[in-house]
Every structure is written in structure tokens, then in C-alpha cells.
Amino acid sequence: MSVNKSEFDRQTALVTGGAQGIGRGIAETLASYGCTVVINDIQQARLEETAAELTDVRGDVVGLEADVSDPEEVEVLFDEIEDRFGGLDVLVNNAAIIDPAEYDEISHEGWRRVLSVNLDGVHHCCSIGAPLIAGSGGGSIINVSSIAGKRISVLAGAHYTTSKWGVIGLTKHVAEEYGPRDVRVNAICPGPIETDTMSGLNTSDRHQSVDKGDIPLRQMGDPSDIGRAVIALSSNLMSFVTGTTLVVDGGYTIR
């Protein structure tokens, strides 16, 4: 049994951090299934470029600038989505920043910045997005955590790991509270995915690198792998799945 593309027709999806990397891959996959996709980022020029490129190839993609760490900007973002599209069906909280700093080098400001985007940002979007989805007749929230939410990261610092563990805990709470309102909430933990960010971390001498030989499937993942996981969790095939965490890592965390 496969996902029926027609179930995503006329649906609206928001992907935060959707202008590049994993977020772009998720947005492109959702658009290919017929969703109207809103991508969010903090850089307007990059947003406009990505939205135009994806619209040319995949369909209707709109870029809206907002900093998810700022609750007032998040409120404006969701108000505009409701005004323009009438509601929301799928929310993908993907926006995140990563910092490879060692624990004793993390400043208070550095700690707060990572947590404010990676965890507070998910909370801000869920707190407004969940009731909006419920009011639209129900739907799905996907929170992008990381394998660092399941184990200590080999590529990033303690603040990143802490934020990604927090995303999984938040996912479970929102899933429990919004289940009766037909909103399913799940998390995805990407493993080694081929992105510019991953390449930069792999060439750093601060942390252990990851190569294909470390992965049982002997290949790095692609952003589209996370996009397909989002489709699966958002589809009717997973209508009885909520509050869970899906690891997409080629078997990397088996060891």
C-alpha cells in the first residue's frame, strides 16, 4: 500500500527553515504531492529564490519571512497563513541552528540562542499551529528533532543535544493534548543527511566526523528521505500514529 497523492490536494503545509537543506527537501516533497507549501526562513532573499525555484519545478510554494524564536513574529506568520489560505493542514517544525562548541566554551548567549530557535521555536509554532490545524478539521504536526535527541551528538554541542531531546518531549505532550482534536503530532530524527551544514561539520576538527562506512546502509541520506518520512507520517496510512519518534538514519544509531 502506498500514499495516495490525492489526499494532499488542496492541503496547506508550513515548513519552517524551509529555504535550504532538509527543510527544502521536505518542502519539495510536499509540493510534489500537491500541497500548497509555505516555506519560512529568516533570510528573505534566500526564501524568494527557493520559493521561485520550487514553484517552477513542483507547484505552489510561497516564502514568508519570520524568526521562529520570536513569538510575535510567529503570530504574524500564522495570521498571514490563515488569512491567505484559510487554515493549515500540515506543520513541519524544522528550523534549527547547530553549534559545535565544546561544553566549557558555550556562553550563556550561545546556549540561549540554540535553545531559543531549536526548542522555543517549536513551542511557539505548536502553540499557535496546533489550534489552527484543529480548527481546520485536523491534520498533522511533524517536529524535526535529530539523532542527537536520542543519543549524544558527535557533531554538535551540549546545547544542541539538549534542544533536540526537548523537542521529543514536547512532541509527546502536544500529541497527548491535541489527539482528541484530530491533530497528530510526531517527531522525526534525521541521521547523517547530505547537506551543506553536514558537510561543514564533517570537515571540522572539533568533533568526530561521519562517513559512509559508519552507516549500515553505506550511504548518506538525502533531504528527500526526510521529505518522504514527513509524507508518510502526515498521510492516512499513519492515521493511528501519534506521539512517536521516527529515526531516519540508515541504521547509524544501531551501534
For residue 117, being part of any structural domain is answered with yes
Is 103 in the active site? no
Q: Cell digits for 66?
A: 519570520
Domain count within the chain: 1
Confidence (pLDDT) at 207: 47
For residue 113, being part of any structural domain is answered with yes
State phi, psi for 140 to the nearest 5 degrees: -140, 140
For residue 37, being part of any structural domain is answered with yes
User: Does the pTM of the predicted model rise above 0.85?
Assistant: yes
Residue 79 has pLDDT above 90, yes or no: yes
Sorting pLDDT into bands at 50, 70 and 90, what band is 202? Answer: very low
Mean pLDDT along residues 154-160: 87
Sorting pLDDT into bands at 50, 70 and 90, what band is 209? Answer: low
The residues near 64 (Cβ < 8 Å, ≥ 6 apart) are 38, 39, 40, 47, 77, 80, 81
Mean pLDDT along residues 73-92: 98
Tell me, what CATH number does 127's domain have?
3.40.50.720
Q: In what order do the strands lie in the sheet with 36-41?
A: 61-65, 36-41, 12-16, 90-93, 139-144, 183-190, 245-248
CB atoms within 10 A of CB 53: 13
- Is residue 122 within 8 A of residue 15, CB to CB? The reply is no
- pLDDT tens per residue across span 103-126: 999 999 999 999 999 999 999 999
Confidence (pLDDT) at 97: 96
- pLDDT tens per residue across span 33-66: 999 999 999 999 999 999 999 998 777 899 999 9
Full domain range(s) for residue 120: 9-248
CA distance 82 to 183: 17
Can you list the alpha helix ranges (DSSP code H) found in 86-239? 108-115, 121-135, 158-178, 196-202, 223-234
For residue 2, being part of any structural domain is answered with no
For residue 4, being part of any structural domain is answered with no
Which of the following is catalytic: 33, 103, 160, 252? 160
Mean pLDDT along residues 15-25: 97
Helices 21-32, 223-234: axis angle to 10 degrees equals 50
Mean pLDDT along residues 87-93: 99
> What is the average pLDDT score of the chain?
92
For residue 253, being part of any structural domain is answered with no
The residues pairing with 248 across neighbouring beta strands, listed in sequence order, are 190
For residue 25, being part of any structural domain is answered with yes
Confidence (pLDDT) at 82: 98
For residue 254, being part of any structural domain is answered with no
Confidence (pLDDT) at 59: 77
75 burial via Cβ count (<10 Å: 0-12, 13-18, 19+):
middle
The helix/strand/coil state of 246 is strand
